[in-house]
Amino acid sequence: MSQPSFPFDRTLREVLQRLPLKIIQILFGSKVSEVLESTFPTTKERKADFVGRLENGTLIHLEIQSTYDPTLPLRLIELYLRIYERYGAYPLQVLLWVGDKKCPYRTRYRLGRLQHRVKVVELRKISCRELLESEVEEDQLLAILCKRERDFWDRLRERVERLEEGKRRDFLMKLLVLARLRKDAYNEVVRLYEEVTKMPLVIDKSRDPFYLEGIQQGLQQGLLREAQEMVLEVVEVKLGRVPKGLEEQIKAETDRDKLKRLLKELVLTSNPMEVIQQFGYRVNET
């Protein structure tokens, strides 16, 4: 799982390291007998999400992805070789896609003359039933990301209410984090949290990364709109009008740096039409 920037990355990794027995059995067809060291120090440290050995002796490597990373195929091959170097056997690799959209990864990759295959599994297509029936809390947590059946929320609530009070809130908080990966589940988990704890969910907006991300996105969008409007204003001052079709192109431009460069050139030029065309915008001069 590269470039972890959200709490669900850390939560998923923590869930895996605590040995969720049922999900491993579903993915690899056998139970884990041993969790192995998954950090491979070199000049550039590499860490796999999960490395273990099955009861039948098979070495396994599990990687989780929630977003698309074009460098993943190369990383999988590198980890494949690192695992062999340390444990003397090539691992069975599974890429577990936990994103909400269709998995963008293939099962076979060609890098030069090298071909590499990996099993790809979409968690959202796995039935939640087996995971909910597991006695391992980490399996139950992962069930929120699976294909939910009609009685899912009632059965999940039963599981939560069985937990000791001290573990219950920790479980619910992790569930809230993972539910961020499923747009249709987050509000249901909030409702479950408030019903079980008998307390409203209070989010510290100064620390909540999802709230802060939304604020950052809003600021970026506001700055982009401001840049678009400034370009159009300068064009109107220079030409006495905004050429037909240009306004739509400028308002569709999402590269703020490009707009800033265009604005600077427009202010300095004596031929704004030429500058506009140099930046790739089509202009109707009539």
Q: Is there a contact between 192 and 157 (Cβ–Cβ < 8 Å)?
A: yes
Q: What is the pLDDT of residues 46-99, one digit of tens each?
A: 788 889 999 999 999 999 998 888 888 888 999 999 999 999 999 999 999 998
Answer whether residue 1 shows pLDDT above 70: no
Count of alpha carbons within 13 angstroms of residue 280, beta-carbon side: 7
SS (HEC) of the chain: CCCCCCHHHHHHHHHHHCCCHHHHHHHHCCCEEEECCCEECCCCCEECCEEEEECCCCEEEEEEECCCCCCHHHHHHHHHHHHHHHHCCCCEEEEEECCCCCCCCCCEEEECCEEEECEEEEHHHCECHHHHHCCCHHHHHHHHHCECCCCHHHHHHHHHHHCCHHHHHHHHHHHHHHHCCCCCCHHHHHHHHHHHHCCCCCCCCCCCHHHHHHHHHHHHHHHHHHHHHHHHHHHHHHHCCCCECHHHHHHHCCCHHHHHHHHHHHHHCCCHHHHHHHCCCCCECC
In the chain the first and final C-alpha atoms are separated, in Å, by: 54
Question: pLDDT of 9-56, one tens digit each?
Answer: 667 767 766 655 678 888 888 888 888 887 876 655 678 888 999 999
- Would you say residue 281 has pLDDT above 50? yes
Max Cα distance, the chain (Å): 78
Q: What is the pLDDT of residue 2?
A: 44
